[in-house]
């Protein structure tokens, strides 16, 4: 049996966000992408990205044979840096954006992927080296109304 469409979307995000390799097209070589699920998590390899699924919004559709959903997803992109942290986190955000927009249809499992904004952050404790950004995206997808493994 095929995996549910949301699971395939998460797998695509995990693969896609691991693409930045620090070559001529990207600023950084992403070391780790994780999907922590409902558990607490800690990013231990840098640069690293955590994919955190949030809530969904179901779209009204006139077609009774399908379910259309907008899925909010939070990405935490983190660096182990304090020097030039503002510039460095903006470069990491740019890498994430570039990788995500290579295939906004998430391997054919989504209608589109929308960038919904980002917020950079840094710890208040000077001893902590981690700088991060909270990046919000929304994935719009459609499934059969009776089977979440069938993408429409």
Q: Which of 28, 25, 17, 20 is nearest to 52 (CA)?
A: 17
Considering the entire predicted model, what is its pTM?
Answer: 0.92
101-114 mean pLDDT: 97
Going by the DSSP 8-state scheme, the letter that residue 151 receives in this structure is B
| Between 123 and 113, residue with greater pLDDT | 113
The two structure tokens encoding residue 61:
């559709």
Task: Enumerate residues 6+ apart whose C-beta is below 8 A from 112.
Answer: 104, 105, 139, 140
What φ, ψ does residue 114 adopt, rounded to 5°? Answer: -115, 140
Give all domains of the chain, ordered by start, each with its CATH number. Answer: 5-144 (3.30.2000.30)
Percent of the chain with pLDDT over 70: 95
Return d(Cα 2, Cα 19) in angstroms, integer.
Answer: 25
The two structure tokens encoding residue 145:
């109304």
65-94 mean pLDDT: 92
Lowest mean pLDDT among 64-68, 69-73, 138-142: 64-68
Answer yes or no: are the C-beta atoms of 70 and 59 closer than 8 Å.
Answer: yes
Q: Nearest-5° angle of CA 39, CA 10, CA 148?
A: 105
């Amino acid at each position: 049996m095929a995996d549910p469409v949301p699971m395939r979307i998460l797998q695509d995000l995990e693969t896609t966000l691991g693409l930045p390799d620090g070559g001529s097209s990207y600023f950084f070589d992403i070391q780790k992408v994780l999907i922590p699920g409902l558990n607490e998590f800690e990013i231990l390899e840098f640069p690293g990205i955590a994919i955190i699924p949030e809530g969904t919004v179901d779209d009204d559709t006139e077609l009774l044979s399908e379910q259309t959903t907008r899925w909010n997803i939070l990405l935490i992109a983190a660096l182990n840096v304090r020097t030039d942290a503002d510039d460095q986190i903006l470069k990491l955000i740019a890498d994430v954006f570039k990788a995500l927009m290579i295939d906004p249809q998430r391997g054919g499992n989504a209608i589109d992927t929308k960038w919904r904004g980002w917020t950079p952050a840094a710890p208040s404790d000077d001893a902590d080296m981690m700088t991060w950004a909270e990046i919000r995206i929304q994935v719009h997808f459609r499934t059969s109304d009776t089977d979440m493994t069938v993408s429409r």
